[in-house]
Chain A
Amino acid sequence: EVQLVESGGGLVQPGGSLRLSCAASGFTFSTYSLNWVRQAPGKGLEWVSYISSSSSIIYYADSVKGRFTISRDNAKNSLYLQMNSLRDEDTAVYYCARDSQFDRGVYYYYGLDVWGQGTTVTVSS
């Protein structure tokens, strides 16, 4: 079964740090790009960051640039989000989502087709 499972959320004080993880299974992780998407309580979806399959291309939303760092370990089938200098407005459910596949020189895109169940980050004093 194709699956993404997030972990690492919790309660943190403003200015603190947290590292989220996303464990993948059921597909060839190293060939897929991935994203982090968040949703504040009662609000809509907000894209946070993107990383290509080889980590050569990385993008961030302006709201997190300079504070968050996305990374991946293809040997461990894992995606990460290091969050520093956390603010109240970073409070949200954080989802990892699968993106395009680049395999043997061919690019495939089926949208953000697989999502994890989410992990909750609460920034509060």
Chain B
Amino acid sequence: DIQMTQSPSSLSASVGDRVTITCRASQGINNYLAWFQQKPGKAPKSLIYAASSLQSGVPSKFSGSGSGTDFTLTISSLQPEDFATYYCQQYNTYPITFGQGTRLEIK
């Protein structure tokens, strides 16, 4: 199975900050990488697919990049509603696997 490792596991930031979350795959996954946002008690929300394609309706403050094994999610100008847990997910090979999550907290 392909292991997905996110860093950091948790992150404190302030409103207005720009943050970057990294996701590393244990083997190459081309650009078959997605990012999700999840708030407590809610279902995950799709942000990005194909490493850098923004899901319909998602604001452009979210951006993704990378290919192969290393990927990043960048969130610019953090707002209170952005504080949540973020997951990466590979879909190059079954079983689909997720990163362990990055909890983004208000400083």
A residues in contact (CB < 8 Å) with B: 35, 37, 44-47, 50, 59, 61-62, 95, 97, 109-118
The A interface is mostly helix, strand or loop, or mixed, namely loop
What is the total of A-B residue contacts with beta carbons within 8 Å? 60
Q: Answer whether A47 and B96 are a contact pair too, CB < 8 Å, given A95-B44, A115-B44.
A: yes
How far apart are the CA atoms of A43 and B67 in the complex, in Å?
27
B residues in contact (CB < 8 Å) with A: 34, 36, 38, 42-46, 48-50, 53, 55-56, 87, 89, 91, 94-101
How far apart are the CA atoms of A37 and B95 in the complex, in Å?
11
Of the candidates B34, B43, B53, B94, which one forms a contact with A115 in the assembled complex, judged by CB atoms under 8 Å apart?
A: B43
Q: Answer whether A50 and B94 are a contact pair too, CB < 8 Å, given A45-B44, A110-B55, A111-B55.
A: yes
CB-nearest residue of chain A to B97: A47
CB-nearest residue of chain A to B44: A115
| CB <8 Å contact, A59 and B34 | no
On chain B, the residues within 8 Å of A50 by CB distance are: 94, 96
Shortest distance from the beta carbon of B52 to any chain A beta carbon, whole Å? 12
CB-nearest residue of chain B to A115: B43
Counting from the closest, the 5 A-B pairs by CB-CB distance are A111-B49, A47-B96, A115-B43, A111-B34, A45-B98
| CB <8 Å contact, A110 and B49 | yes
Q: Answer whether A59 and B95 are a contact pair too, CB < 8 Å, given A110-B49, A111-B49.
A: yes
| CB <8 Å contact, B95 and A61 | yes
How far apart are the CA atoms of A115 and B53 in the complex, in Å?
18
How far apart are the CA atoms of A52 and B86 in the complex, in Å?
27
On chain A, the residues within 8 Å of B45 by CB distance are: 115
| CB <8 Å contact, A116 and B43 | yes
Shortest distance from the beta carbon of A69 to any chain B beta carbon, whole Å? 17
On chain B, the residues within 8 Å of A109 by CB distance are: 49-50
